[in-house]
A = this chain, B = another copy of it.
């Protein structure tokens, strides 16, 4: 439901070919909406068919690239979508799920995986910080860029949150037992608070 709008946004920022879009979905756009090249090509086809984007004539045919641009109808569609109200999506995080599973299974090592994620989040944070330094240096930011910076700061804030949360969790887990070993084995366990 959001992918077409992500593509419209990207193409408004800069008309691009499918591959270029794919690259951009690995970078800036992908920081808040990821997509693979298969999704992108398929969606480009659909959007072209319904007349929201169009192939730009392009230099007579240099190579094989197709360049797409947003048509007026596409801009209108995007404008409408942005104005909608949409509730935040419920969280769906496999790591949290695995921790909960580890809680009920007992005796599963989880510390290594947390450490690994810590590293990944630190890398991502470093990347965001670098981007902010480059794209939004000190002084400030045009009216139009303010929103862009706000979005980037969401990324920075999220990564920062994960880093802190993992750090604290590791301290908790290491402070007490060798994270893995036997808590309560056996099927006897009715967990203290199965719910809510």
Contacts and interface: CB of A to CB of B under 8 A. Distances in A.
A86 interface: yes
Main secondary structure of the interface of A (DSSP, over half): helix
B194 A91 contact: no
Centre residue among A13, A98, A177 by max chain B CB count within 10 A? A98
Contact of A94 (B2, B146, B177): B2
Interface in A43-76: 75
B28 A195 contact: yes
Contact of A27 (B103, B192, B195): B195
A183 B143 contact: yes
A34 B145 contact: no
A113 B91 contact: no
B192 A103 contact: no
B103 A151 contact: yes
Contacts of A102: 82, 147
A6 interface: yes
A190 B142 CA distance: 12
A139 interface: no
A12 B195 CA distance: 12
B105 A82 contact: yes
Contacts of A120: 87-88
A144 B34 contact: no
12 contacts: A14-B195, A27-B195, A32-B93, A32-B97, A82-B110, A85-B195, A100-B151, A103-B148, A142-B183, A146-B172, A148-B193, A157-B165
